[in-house]
Amino acid sequence: SSFTPYIVEMMYQNLRRVMPGSPLESIHYVQFPKADEVIDVATFKVKGGAIDMRTIETSVDRMINILELARQIRNDKGKPVKVPLRRMVICHPDADLIRDLTKVLDIYIKEEMNVEEVVGVSDLGAVAKTKCDPEFSRLGSRAGKRMKEVTTAIR
């Protein structure tokens, strides 16, 4: 039989001698303490002693979407996942999403996408240049004589 309960009981009885006031005769009558404070577990909110599962599910769903997009981009660019990349930049206006993906879930993203660093940016202009070129074959019949005006508006 296990000797751990006997050792724990002996320790409790020794503590009772030096710290009087405990009404309980044995350690085995002591209840587990209740969580009465909010604890931050890896930046996921804890409410009433239980992890907020919706927050975790939302964050993981977002991560899965980002991973799918990243795989598609790597495939389109001819960079297989086996080839390591220096960094992956995630651009999104939502600060919570950026925090979750770069501070909490970055370990999973790094492993899954084979990247050394995950960087979050909320300003698209800081990492990319946007460009819009008109498709003249489609605009030709619709724009007609206003082609130059439409082209200027598009660019």
Contact 86, 117 (CB under 8 A): yes
| Domain limits, the chain | 46-122
pLDDT digits (tens, 9 = 90+) for 101-145: 888 888 899 999 999 999 999 888 888 888 887 777 777 777 777
The Cβ-side half-sphere exposure at 56, using a 13 Å CA radius, reads 11
pLDDT digits (tens, 9 = 90+) for 65-103: 999 999 999 999 999 999 999 999 999 898 888 888 888
* Residue with token string 């909010």: 38
Contact 48, 35 (CB under 8 A): yes
Sign, Cα dihedral of 21, 23, 26, 28: negative
pTM over 0.85: no
